[in-house]
Amino acid sequence: MRNGLHVMQDSDWQIEVDYSTFSEWSRTLDLFEDANFFQTWSYGRIRWGDKNLSHLVLRRGGEVMGMAQLRIVRPTPWRFGIAYLRWGPICERRGRPLETDVVVRMARALEDEYVYKRKLFLRILPNAFVGSSRATIIQSAFCRFTCEPLAANETYRTVVLDLAPDLEELRRSLDKKWRNQLTQAEKNRLIVTSGSGRDDYATFCQMYYEMRRRKTFETTVDVEEFGRIQEDLPESQRMRILICEDKGKPVAGLVASAIGHSGIYLLGATGDDGVRSKGAYLLQWVVIKWLKENGFKWYDLGGIDPEQNPGVYHFKRGLSGTEVSQISPQVSCTSSISSTVVRTALTIHRALDGLSIARRVRPPLNRN
């Protein structure tokens, strides 16, 4: 779909809007350090549908310097709605530092296209963590936007592991109990296989469903949707699926994305026989080794909630990474209709989400 190209006031810079094809977008995304799973075209089209996506590309002298995939929601044919950018924009070319000027021009281009031209409520959730140099550059570039405050339960918190140290040092840094569990898993003579195909994912899903039946936990994760995304992704961006076997039987599985300079832990599962084998510990260690061997810099352990899910929190914390929080969304809007509709919808959503949390944490009734 090739809709438009226009030149910014400085003629050396060009903006393309909905001009890329799937193959062009995928190929160009691989040129960026800050590329990630949520900015792949496959994630967008399977999650939201092609007709609800918009793709903006920033060029300097013909070279792509920035990219942004947005979800567009227009509840009616009238000119109001929301443009939502998750974990973008993508602005850091491989082998180069993040350029402030590129991020500033991306901020301006996004606002010009989606706020001023389309009259949408623009909400951007950057891929940056509080206190980092990247966050400083992004927040400065988006200074004309409003920082949207979030409740604690809405903020993405995670543990990020720096992969710069050698493997011996990374292993020594593990929590003692976590390291002991890993040693036990290695003594159990488990076999770990990896792949990216349909059969690998089907094996993972079988263990995931076993775990859901065993733990009966609530989740918004749709593993079948992840499977459709996997089949749509180009080979270079496919998720890595690791399966741990004990005496030939799959007992634990892990799904991770490895794009740009970071790996992200997306899904994990332990089958009915997997708890005893300690396979989850071995899988994480195998992923860390693979990421290091293939030149990745960071491993994002995929979200933590110490209050609602302390078990998973302590497991991830045992890898001795750094606890971080994503910076707040940046928003901009000049349309009073779009602003009112979106903020009303967010208020209702948060109220319903609060009721859901209250039901989950409500103490049991006194039966005496």
pLDDT digit string, tens, across residues 54-95: 999 999 999 999 999 999 998 666 677 899 999 999 999 999
CA-to-CA separations, 171 to 57, 168, 175, 282, 285, in angstroms, rounded: 41, 5, 9, 12, 9
Per-residue pLDDT, averaged over 146-161, amounts to 87
From 121, 118, 123, select the one nearest 79 (Cα to Cα).
118
Strand (E) positions, 163-259? 191-195, 240-246, 249-259
Can you tell me the distance from the alpha carbon of 303 to that of 323, in angstroms, rounded to the nearest whole number? Answer: 10
Per-residue pLDDT, averaged over 190-198, amounts to 93
User: In this predicted structure, what is the pLDDT of residue 361?
Assistant: 36
| CATH code at 4-144+335-361 | 3.40.630.30
Which of 165-174, 177-186, 207-216 shows the lowest per-residue confidence on average (mean pLDDT)? Answer: 207-216
Residue 8: pLDDT over 70: no
360 band by pLDDT with thresholds 50, 70 and 90: very low
Write down the domain spans for the chain: 4-144+335-361, 158-324
Can you tell me the distance from the alpha carbon of 119 to that of 337, in angstroms, rounded to the nearest whole number? Answer: 9
User: In this predicted structure, what is the pLDDT of residue 150?
Assistant: 79
User: Which range among 6-10, 121-125, 355-359 has the greatest average pLDDT?
Assistant: 121-125
User: In this predicted structure, what is the pLDDT of residue 347?
Assistant: 64
355 band by pLDDT with thresholds 50, 70 and 90: very low
pTM (global) more than 0.85: yes
Tens-digit pLDDT profile for residues 245-272: 998 899 999 999 999 999 999 999 987 7
114 band by pLDDT with thresholds 50, 70 and 90: very high
Better-scored residue on pLDDT, 213 or 283: 283
Can you tell me the distance from the alpha carbon of 145 to that of 332, in angstroms, rounded to the nearest whole number? Answer: 5
CATH fold of 158-324, please?
Answer: Aminopeptidase (3.40.630)
**4-144+335-361 with 158-324: one CATH topology?**
yes
CA-to-CA separations, 112 to 15, 181, 190, 240, 361, in angstroms, rounded: 11, 53, 55, 37, 44
Q: Which residues of 20-54 are buried (b: 16+ CB within 10 A; e: fewer)?
A: bebeebbeebebbbbbbbbbbbbbbbbbbeeeebb
